[in-house]
C-alpha cells in the first residue's frame, strides 16, 4: 500500500496504518536522534516521543507525501529539546570514563567523523545529516527546517568548510 494511502487512513484514525507507517521510518528516526543525543537510551526515548507526538498530530500533516520529512522535523525538534535540557546536567569527570565506557566503539575514523560533526552548530548539523545521511534535496531540507532554500545551501557550504578545516587541522572544528 502506498504511503499516501496509509497516511490518509492514519489521519482518519486507523491505528494499524499509522503503526505501519511509523515502523517504516523507525530506524531513520533512531539514527537521526542518536547523532544528536549520542547515546542509545536517549535516542530510544526520542523515538518513543516522536511516535507519541506524530500519532497525536498526524491530522496536522497537510501533504501525505511529506510524511517522512514531517517525522524528521519532529525528530530534530525532540532531539534538540533533549540536548538543551541535558546541558543543565553536570558531566561526569573524565577520569571516570574508563569505568563506564563500553569499549566496543573503537573505530578511529568513525569517532573522528563523529567528533567533527558534533563540533558543528545545531543548524549546520541538521542540514549535513539531512543532506548526506538521509539524501534529502535542498528543497526538502528547506521545508523540513522551515528555512529559505538559499539559507539551506549556505548553511551546508559553511558546515562543509568547517568540516574540511577541522579535518585538515586534525583537532576538531573551531569556529
CA atoms of 67 and 10, how far apart (whole Å): 11
Domains of the chain, by residue range, sit at 1-87, 108-175
What local confidence, expressed as pLDDT, does residue 96 receive? 46
Q: Residue 52: enclosing H or E segment and its boundaries? A: helix 40-57
Query: Of the CATH numbers 3.20.20.20, 3.30.2320.30, 1.10.10.10, 1.10.150.80, which one belongs to the domain with range 108-175?
Result: 1.10.10.10
User: Cα(169)–Cα(175) distance, rounded to whole angstroms?
Assistant: 12
Report in angstroms the alpha-carbon separations of 30 from 33, 51, 56, 94, 162.
Answer: 5, 11, 19, 27, 26
Grid-cell match 558534533, residue found: 118
CATH of domain 1-87: 1.10.1740.10
Q: What are 19-49's pLDDT values in tens digits?
A: 999 999 999 999 999 989 989 999 999 999 9
pLDDT tens-digit map of 82-126: 988 877 655 555 544 544 445 454 445 444 666 777 788 888 888
pLDDT top residue among 123 and 53: 53
Q: How far, CA to CA in Å, does 112 sit from each of 54, 108, 117, 122, 167?
A: 34, 6, 9, 18, 8
Distances (CA, A) of 94 to 16, 41, 84: 46, 21, 21
pTM of the model: 0.62
Amino acid at each position: 500500500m502506498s504511503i499516501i494511502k496509509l497516511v490518509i487512513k492514519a489521519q482518519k484514525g486507523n491505528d494499524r496504518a499509522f503503526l505501519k507507517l511509523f515502523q517504516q521510518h523507525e530506524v531513520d528516526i533512531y539514527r537521526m536522534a542518536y547523532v544528536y543525543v549520542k547515546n542509545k537510551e536517549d535516542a530510544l526515548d526520542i523515538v518513543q516521543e516522536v511516535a507519541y507526538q506524530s500519532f497525536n498530530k498526524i491530522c496536522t500533516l497537510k501533504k501525505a507525501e511529506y510524511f517522512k520529512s514531517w517525522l524528521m522535523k519532529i525528530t530534530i525538534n525532540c532531539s534538540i529539546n533533549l540536548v538543551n535540557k541535558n546541558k543543565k546536567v553536570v558531566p561526569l569527570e573524565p577520569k571516570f570514563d574508563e569505568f563506564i565506557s563500553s569499549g566496543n566503539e573503537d573505530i578511529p575514523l568513525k569517532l573522528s567523523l563523529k567528533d567533527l560533526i558534533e563540533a558543528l552548530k545545531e543548524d549546520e548539523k541538521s542540514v549535513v545529516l539531512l543532506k548526506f545521511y538521509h539524501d534529502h534535496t535542498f528543497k526538502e531540507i528547506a521545508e523540513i527546517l522551515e528555512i529559505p532554500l538559499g539559507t539551506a545551501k549556505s548553511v551546508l557550504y559553511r558546515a562543509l568548510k568547517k568540516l574540511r578545516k577541522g579535518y585538515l587541522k586534525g583537532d576538531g572544528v573551531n569556529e
